[in-house]
């Protein structure tokens, strides 16, 4: 098995272009990663990587070895998946990511029930609102809230999620009630932005009588944590654009009120994403199916027939 582990390490070093990144991906130290590559090179009798203090690149032999190594791993993973599926006893560890709001409200609460049903599967859940590189970070499964672009990943749409613009009554009393997206711009309203390193200038796409339109909004605060934005909105700091499920309790209590209702935000999509090779693993499919069912039920209960006006 050590030879297989060495091949797996080689593939991740090749794909990530970094020994330290591959070590993090494989949950070991850079020293262990380097030792595995050295052992593989010794076995093959060739150098697989050119190493300098600033860069690492595959040699000609490394380029040749990569395609074959990838096929070896795919065959092993497929064989293991077939055995686990036939034995009906999936086991192992899943590395999963989700946005903060989705993870805290839907994914994390469902994990204990999944573990009770499949006791030999362990879950490592990472929550972040930043854009995740599913393949580059070695994840088995990721949940994504937002537009879905072209991808080599296996994508399964879970649900459309309505969104809303809202603010605290204190903010409205101080700054006035904007009727639509244009008023947000013309009246210089404080808009709370979800932003992370590398994000572009922010725009809100709202539905107008002539179709979707982008409005360039401004505001004094921004964060890479969506729940921080909700907290600022509750404190009267500005207007926030949120999925309804994240602010439903505050809308019902009256702590937040809808604004710019003439131009509502477009809904967004909640989906699961997995590398195609990973999705053949029964435990990945089981967890994806389990969470999909849980999310659909929770969202249906929240959105169907519920009055979000203050009680």
User: What domains can you pick out in the chain, each with its CATH number?
Assistant: 2-86 (1.10.10.10), 89-159+269-303 (3.40.190.10), 163-266 (3.40.190.290)
In tens, the pLDDT along 214-263 reads 999 999 899 988 899 999 999 999 999 999 999 999 999 999 999 999 99
Instruction: Note the helical H segments in the chain.
Output: 2-16, 19-25, 30-44, 60-87, 100-102, 108-117, 169-175, 181-186, 226-234, 244-253, 276-279, 282-303
Q: Which residue bears the tokens 């964060």? A: 223
Strands 92-98 and 141-145, bridge-based pairing: parallel
Q: Over range 153-167, report the average pLDDT.
A: 92
pLDDT at 308: 57
Contact 193, 270 (CB under 8 A): no
Q: Is the pLDDT of residue 311 over 50?
A: no
What span, in angstroms and rounded, lies between the C-alpha atoms of 284 and 66? 25
The percent of residues above 70 in pLDDT, for the chain, comes to 91
DSSP secondary structure, 52-104, as one string: -SS-EEE-HHHHHHHHHHHHHHHHHHHHHHHHHHHHT---EEEEEEE-HHHII
Question: What is residue 113's predicted lDDT score, i.e. its pLDDT?
Answer: 95
Of 134-148, 198-212, 234-248, 297-311, which one has max mean pLDDT? 234-248
Length of the chain: 311
Three-state secondary-structure class, residue 26: coil
Block residue for tokens 């969104």: 163
| Arithmetic mean of pLDDT over the chain | 87
Q: What is the pLDDT of residue 300?
A: 83
Confidence tier at 162 by pLDDT (50, 70, 90)? very high
Q: Which of 202, 201, 213 is nearest to 262 (CA)?
A: 213
């Amino acid at each position: 098995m050590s030879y297989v582990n060495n091949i797996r390490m080689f593939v991740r070093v090749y794909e990530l272009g970094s020994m330290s990144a591959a070590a993090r991906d494989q949950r070991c130290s850079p020293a262990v990663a380097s030792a595995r590559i050295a052992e593989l090179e010794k076995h093959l009798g060739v150098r697989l990587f050119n190493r300098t203090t600033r860069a690492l690149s595959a040699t000609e032999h490394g380029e040749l070895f990569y395609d074959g190594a990838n096929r070896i791993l795919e065959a092993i993973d497929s064989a293991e998946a077939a055995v686990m599926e036939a034995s009906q006893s999936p086991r192992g560890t899943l590395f999963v990511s989700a946005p903060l709001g989705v993870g805290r409200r839907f994914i994390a609460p469902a994990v204990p029930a999944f573990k009770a049903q499949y006791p030999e599967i362990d879950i490592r859940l990472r929550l972040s609102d930043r854009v995740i590189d599913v393949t580059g970070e070695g994840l088995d499964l990721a949940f994504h809230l937002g537009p879905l672009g072209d991808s080599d990943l296996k994508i399964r749409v879970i649900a459309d999620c309505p969104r809303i613009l809202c603010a605290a009554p204190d903010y409205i009393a101080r700054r006035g009630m904007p009727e639509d997206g244009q008023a947000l711009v013309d009246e210089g309203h404080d808009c709370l932005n979800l932003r992370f390193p590398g994000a572009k200038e922010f725009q809100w796409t709202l539905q107008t009588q002539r179709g979707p339109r982008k409005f360039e909004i401004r505001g004094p605060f921004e964060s890479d944590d969506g729940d921080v934005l909700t907290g600022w909105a509750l404190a009267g700091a500005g207007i926030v654009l949120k999925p309804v499920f994240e602010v439903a309790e505050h809308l019902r209590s009256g702590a937040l009120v809808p604004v710019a209702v003439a131009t509502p935000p477009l809904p967004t999509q909640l989906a699961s994403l997995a590398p195609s090779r990973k999705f053949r693993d029964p435990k990945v499919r089981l967890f994806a199916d389990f969470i999909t069912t849980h999310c659909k039920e929770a969202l249906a209960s929240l959105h169907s027939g519920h009055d979000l006006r203050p009680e």
